[in-house]
Amino acid sequence: MYPERLKRAREAAGLSLRALAEQVGVSQTAIKKYEDGVNTPDSSQLLKLAKALAVRSEYFFRPFTVQLSADVEYRKRANTPVKLLKRIHADVEEQAERWQELTNIYPQFPIKPFTLPAGLPASVNTLDDVEQVAAFARESWKLGEDQITDLVDVLETQGVLVIFSAVEAQTKFDGLAVRIGSQPVVVVAQHWAGDRQRFTLAHELGHLLLQGRLTAGLDEEKACNRFAGAFLLPATAIQRQLGQHRRMIEWQELYLLKHEFGLSMMGCLYRLLDTAIIDAKTFDYLLKRYYFSGWRTQEPGNVYPAEHTILFKQLVYRALAESWIGESKAAELLGMPLARFHRERKLEGADAVTDQ
């Protein structure tokens, strides 16, 4: 077995050495020795480890194909616990490995590599230039000026893969960007509300488009936030809906805008300022009211529906149909027990229509 696998699975499960040792009924030192490759567990212990960590025992023998590099951008908050980061990291690595494996199964991978839209300006000097880049990307990808209903689909069409991590991370992590081979990948938490997922996805897209173009003095994080807002809610669209200049805005207007464009009320508020529909004074007033109402933690009304992806599953089934893989490999790639996969394949039961 690969000792590192055990460590990864343990971190992914969020278990300490001691917690795992207790579950398996061996000493903490014994687990440590397995992880360091000093000792190897026998087959019955291996089964117990697999059970405790909710992986198949084959997992421990799978060679490594993906190593997340140190330049991974964690959009994390300063107080993100290290333990949580490790769990997210392990989960993403695991999913990235499945992507890598799937990529290798295809004689020719059916997703085009990510390329920058032709004619992107070589240098971006101001936040208004960033606004132009967002408009340019929309135009190049023929997205028009209306809302983007399925942002994940837009990214996947452009060769940016999206991984959803189910690791519990309500407020502690802001998404991250990695690469599988040359394919850029954006990771978002599955449990987030849709507007938060979309902002992160658009922000990371901003990094891909703006990297190496920003003049010194322009903060990349700020630029990517501006990009995200402009990409999700173009200036032309917000001006068309709310007018060119406004003295005051009703909260209901922001609420409706949020649910049309999938950008948080806070995001919409910033768009009003960025597009000069309201002045700084009105913005400050509204922002204060927003904070005062406690909406920073949770915005009022219905939650914007979450994004989802079907691409990975689609490609697994396609590979199965083409006989490039068998049923057990397909089940393994989808991370589900063979029996459940069998039912899903035959469209039996509710599993068949739900993704993830």
Question: Which residues are near Zn ion by CB under 5 A?
Answer: 224
DSSP annotation string for 107-147: SS-SSPPP-PPTT--S-B-SHHHHHHHHHHHHHHTT--SS-
Cβ pair 251, 220 in contact under 8 A: no
Closer residue to Zn ion in complex, CB, 224/233? 224
Closer residue to Zn ion in complex, CB, 174/274? 174
Closer residue to Zn ion in complex, CB, 186/224? 224
**Structure-derived torsion over alpha carbons of residues 292, 295, 301, 307, reported in degrees to the nearest 10:** 170
Question: Phi, psi (5° rounding) for residue 346?
Answer: -90, 10
Min. distance of Cβ 184 from Zn ion in angstroms? 13
Min. distance of Cβ 98 from Zn ion in angstroms? 25
Closer residue to Zn ion in complex, CB, 174/344? 174
Neighbours of 211 (CB within 10 A): 11
Min. distance of Cβ 170 from Zn ion in angstroms? 20
Cβ pair 125, 215 in contact under 8 A: yes
Beta bridge partners of 76: 173
Min. distance of Cβ 186 from Zn ion in angstroms? 11
Beta bridge partners of 174: none
Closer residue to Zn ion in complex, CB, 224/257? 224
Min. distance of Cβ 175 from Zn ion in angstroms? 8
Alpha-carbon span 180 to 99, nearest angstrom: 8
Closer residue to Zn ion in complex, CB, 187/224? 224
301: exposed, middle or buried (Cβ count in 10 Å: 0-12, 13-18, 19+): middle
Min. distance of Cβ 174 from Zn ion in angstroms? 8
Closer residue to Zn ion in complex, CB, 133/224? 224
Alpha-carbon span 52 to 23, nearest angstrom: 7
Residue type, position 66, single letter: V
Min. distance of Cβ 221 from Zn ion in angstroms? 5
Q: Strands 173-180 and 73-76, how do they pair?
A: antiparallel
| Long-range interactions of 319-327: CB distance < 8 A, separation 24+ | 319/102, 319/105, 319/106, 320/345, 324/105, 324/106, 324/107, 325/105
Closer residue to Zn ion in complex, CB, 224/269? 224
Closer residue to Zn ion in complex, CB, 5/226? 226
Min. distance of Cβ 206 from Zn ion in angstroms? 7
C-alpha to C-alpha distances, 108 to 86, 103, 112, 181, nearest whole angstrom: 33, 8, 10, 14
Min. distance of Cβ 224 from Zn ion in angstroms? 5
